[in-house]
Structure 1
């Protein structure tokens, strides 16, 4: 029984990981693929904002990107990961 549970979790893990994106390191194409209601131009705006202002400190900070509102942030909160790009 425990082995079956472990196998199930192992199979679910990679599928879940594919549905998240590190907005501090991902390119625009990846952001576009993973985030809902974010097309190519908004995805590029996210990358441009990150390049200009440094890594995002919170998902809510995405609302400061032109074309991204709080509704879009809320729809994507479970998809957003903040790892890469932090200076320490």
Structure 2
């Protein structure tokens, strides 16, 4: 019963985790936010970023020693490469309210 409770507790934290900006976060924040990346790999991420510049894609992250495609894909939804778009700039699937068509004057 205790094991089940602990498992549920751990799962709830993973679900509630906020995405992390991989280009701004320190090693501690990276290791806490991402699955399969402990303190050593997180330090490698920060060091790689210092030496090679900001990450732009998951493929860039895979260049870090110890981080492969599987780890990158596992964390894809939790990694930001820049600032999130402001709410006003986020495009929705809902079409905008169409403008009222202008009346066409008929010739007399």
Who is 2:12 aligned against? none
Counterparts of 1:49-88 in structure 2 under 5 Å? Answer: 49-83=48-82
C-alpha displacement of 1:60: 2.0
| Cα RMSD for the two superposed structures | 1.5
Compute the TM-score of the two structures, normalised by the length of structure 2. Answer: 0.60
Rg bigger for which structure? 2
User: Is there any run of 5+ residues in structure 2 with no aligned partner, and where?
Assistant: 1-14, 84-108
Deviations 1:27-73 (A, max 9, x none): 00000010000000000000000000000111221110000000000
C-alpha displacement of 1:83: 0.9
Deviating above 6 A after TM superposition, structure 1's stretches of 4 or more consecutive aligned residues are none
* Higher-helix-fraction structure: 1
C-alpha displacement of 1:19: 2.1
Compute the TM-score of the two structures, normalised by the length of structure 1. Answer: 0.73
